[in-house]
Amino acid sequence: MQTAHSPIWPGVLGRFTWHDLPFVRAWENPTASEMIGAAAASLVIIGFVVTVTLLTRHRAWGRLLEWVTSLDHKKIGIMYVVIALVMLSRALVEAVLMRMQQAAAVGDPGFLSSDHFSQLFSTHGSIMIFFMAMPFLTGVINYVMPLQIGARDMAFPWANSVALSLTGGGAILMMVSLVIGKFSTGGWSGYPPYTGLAFSPDVGPDYWIWAVTLGSIGSTLSGINIACTIFKFRAPGMTYMRMPLFCWTSLCTSILMIFAMPPLTVATALLALDRYLGFHFFTNDLGGNMMNYANLFWLFGHPEVYILILPAFGIYSEVVSTFSSKELYGYVSLVLATMAIAVLSFTVWLHHFFTMGQSANINAVFGIATMTIGVPTGVKIYDWIWTMFRGEVRFTVPMLYSLAFMITFVIGGFTGIILAIPPLDYVFHNTLFLVAHFHNMLIPGLLYGLLAGYTYWFPKAFGFRLNERWGRIAFGCWVAGFYLAFMPLYVLGASGMARRTHEIFQPDFRPWLYVAGFGALVLLAALAALIVQLVVSIRERDANRVFAGDPWDGRGLEWSTSAPPPEYNFAVIPHVDGRDPFYDGKRKDGYYQRHVAYGAIEMPRNSISGVVIGLGATAASFGLVWHMWWLAGLSMQLVLSALIARSFVRGSHRTISAAEVTATEHRWHAALDADRPTPRACELSQRNTGLAEIPA
């Protein structure tokens, strides 16, 4: 393998040159494309400087260290969601740039170079899947699932910290690629030969390889942790068929993570061997075969779709049941449908390359399997509709997202059936019809669900409700923006417009591209409304406190604690005797009684080793990207040293005294005694202090 060395200081900087900085490129060639790249890099640097300045000004470094070294599943879950929201902001801006470029590039080169445009669709897809969706759903599961099953923490708290640090490290690499070097132009799937050394000798594919590898290892650790927690840490009496639906979807998601993420890690590792050591796994010569990569990637890629969708299905189940004031209809069928989706998700990967040369018989088998997986999904839709039927439906923001999902997701399902038919897939493959389809599944199916869960459980996590008015504005923009941005793509795709097109030569496409571009701007407004909602809610937090912990008349155990919950979650592990233990228990007056005595509770101590491992792996990856072998070697030694040092740690737990537990619980019960129950009609007003009125 030929290695380009830096003319500046080869032994230290590897292949880095001044031209790898976007500011230098913009100075040398001040085109619109280069100026946009420099502006993006400036935003990253400014964001970093502002963050450091604020932490220093408010003397918050100690608190930040306390958070990043915490093994508390609740803090880890919140940090996952923060990563996801930051990365969502970047990826959405990139999507807007792509739509603006296509709208401007009808018979014209537009304002972005073809190389910059290719980087944008590669980073947009990679971020949305690996560093927005995965951290978001992992964070929500981390926060909510242990509370729902009556556990005090995850099964492996330290591994939870390592998984977070690795995911954060991958996100850091994605952001660093804006400032130093360029990103891959090979799409979010990283297909060779586009990411092979002969086609892309620059650093872009290497950034993609190591960022995705860090994220995939972190997700594998998370999957093992989630599964073991559900298997082993359920409260007494909580049998599998008494678990909340969100826990069932979390369990199936974790199993998919365990078995689907390793093929991705293997694929990126083999691609790295091709690029770094001259192997030929995915080349056309010396025994290589590019189809091996396609099979490995989509062995991960299609289960990944359901890794993303299933937790959202669980959220919709919780939201629809709570805000319909009814027991979830068809619980058993929903569980069976969830398990069926998890199993069938491993049988459909080949529909992603119907056009790549396999026989018609194989295509037919996978086409039938693809259609079959729509059946259990349809079961879920009907069960949610029947849950609402004759219920006392309250149109809160989470419920609005759920209703928008049901309508929009069905449309995406119909287009999926079209693409599951191999002859039709030959027509629509690699057109904007496909782009419209998978966004039609992922935005309502994933993003709406996660935003519904964010709004629904936010009061539990932070102790105050989000502003309802701005939540509705954000909801309206997300829904309107989606239809405006992606429905035109069905028309364009059916008309033959290829996806990933930098410049368009068919003037008839112009009106549809303008509508799609306007829709992208509305989606950007939705993100802005979400930020405004958070800022306004923080300012109004004292008027919207829900310390009592049950603002929505919830059904599961997560609502049976204060808001936010104490570090130990439950002073006394609850005993479960039904599917809606808290909802039923409130009506029997069994959940707000003080205990005579509370015992001491043991919880895991903070540990910096997980952070060290994550930062070390990130630095090693950066060194490998730039061929700074000294940095890669030293960083890997740091990772290994941290692992060894952790194995010698004793006293990894600390004890919360019985007196401290008693004081915390008595303070909560005193607030409960002082509160007045809130009628459902007033649950969106400032009267709601977290103690729901029990209807007669």
Mean pLDDT, 10 residues at a time, the chain of 696 residues: 58 88 93 94 95 94 95 97 97 96 93 94 96 96 97 96 97 96 93 91 96 97 97 95 96 96 96 94 87 92 93 96 94 96 91 83 89 91 95 95 95 90 89 94 94 97 96 97 97 94 93 97 97 96 94 93 94 91 82 80 95 97 96 97 94 93 92 89 90 82
pLDDT of residue 356: 82
- Is there a single domain that holds both residue 251 and residue 279? yes
> Residue 7: what pLDDT?
64
Position 627 in a domain: no
Query: Do residues 162 and 151 share a domain?
Result: yes
Residue 449: which of 297, 623, 317 has the closest Cα? 317
User: Total structural domains in the chain?
Assistant: 2
HEC profile of 501-521: CCCECCHHHHHHHHHHHHHHH
Secondary structure of 300-313 as H, E, C letters: HHHHHHHHHHHHHH
Which of 492, 516, 545 is the endpoint of a domain? 545
Q: What is the CATH number of the domain that holds 240?
A: 1.20.210.10
589: left (phi over 0), alpha (psi -120 to 50) or beta: left
Residues 435, 500, single domain; the answer is yes
Same domain, 42 and 96: no
Question: What are the CA-CA distances from residue 683 to residues 389, 462, 533, 565, 676 (Å)?
Answer: 21, 17, 18, 20, 12
Token readout for 554 is 């919830």
Q: Are residues 18 and 112 in the same domain?
A: no
578 lies in some domain? no
User: Shortest CA distance to 460 belongs to which of 623, 617, 277, 318?
Assistant: 318
432, part of any domain: yes
Residues 6+ apart with CB under 8 A from 591: 560, 582, 585
On whether the pTM is more than 0.75, the answer is yes
- Transcribe 159-199 into DSSP letters: HHHHHHHHHHHHHHHHHHHHHSS---SSTTTT-TTTTSTTT
Are residues 133 and 37 part of one domain? no
CB 533 within 8 A of CB 126: no
**Residue 135 and residue 78 in one domain:** yes
Asked if 55 and 80 sit in the same domain, the reply is: no
Q: Are residues 35 and 90 in the same domain?
A: no
Coil, strand or helix at 396 = coil
Would residue 51 count as lying in a domain? yes
Is residue 506 a part of any domain in this protein? yes
**Residue where a domain stops, chosen among 492, 521, 545:** 545
Domain housing 98: 60-545
Give backbone dihedrals phi and psi of 692, rounded to 5 degrees, phi first: -75, 140
Are residues 100 and 21 part of one domain?
no
Q: In degrees rounded to 5, what are phi and psi of residue 628?
A: -90, 80
Residue 696 has a pLDDT of 64
How far, in Å, CA of 268 to CA of 400, rounded?
39
> Tokens 């979400």 — which residue?
530
Residue 229 lies in a domain: yes
Residue 2: the pLDDT is 45
Q: Are residues 397 and 469 in the same domain?
A: yes
Q: Does any domain span residue 490?
A: yes
Token output for 467: 């502003």
Task: Assess whether 418 and 327 both reside in one domain.
Answer: yes
Last residue of a domain, one of 513, 545, 577: 545
CA separation for the pair 509, 516 (Å, rounded):
11
**Which residues does 12 contact at the CB level (< 8 Å), separation at least 6?**
628, 630
Q: Across the strands, what pairs with 550?
A: 691
Spatial separation of the C-alpha atoms in residues 538 and 463, rounded to whole Å: 11
Residue 504 located in a structural domain: yes
- Taking the C-alpha atoms of residue 408 and residue 388, their distance in angstroms, rounded to an integer, is 18
